[in-house]
Amino acid sequence: MGRIYRRESHDSSIDFSPHLPNDGATILEQVDVDNQIAKLMVDLSRSQDYEIGDGTTGVVVVAGALLGLGCWKIRA
């Protein structure tokens, strides 16, 4: 898992530069959520990462699209 901030050394100096990983599971692990649906999305991403090791962002995007369609159908 990557980190949002990493420590780098350039010419004997310490620099804390921001680093945004390209891994959905890493980003979602770092986010503190209170919403139950958001917690389900984090758990979905975590289980995808544990079982397969890839595709975490895609799984969350598809699940979000399905939730959006479900909410649209309920309102209609």
Residue with the larger pLDDT of the pair 50 and 12 = 50
pLDDT tens for each residue of 13-63: 555 666 666 677 777 777 888 889 888 888 988 899 889 888 888 898 999
Q: How far apart are CA 67 and CA 76, in angstroms?
A: 14
Quick one: pLDDT at residue 1?
Answer: 46
pTM of full prediction above 0.95: no
**Could you tell me which of 45, 69, 42 has the C-alpha nearest to residue 55?**
45
Residue 62, pLDDT score: 92
Residue 66, domain extent:
23-75
* Per-residue pLDDT, 24: 74
| Torsion angles phi and psi, residue 8, rounded to 5 | -125, 150
Q: Residue 68 falls within a domain, yes or no?
A: yes
38 occurs within a structural domain = yes
What are the b/e assignments for 37-71, b being 16+ CB within 10 Å?
eeeebbebbeebbeeeeeebbebbeebeeeeeeee
Number of domains observed in the structure of the chain: 1
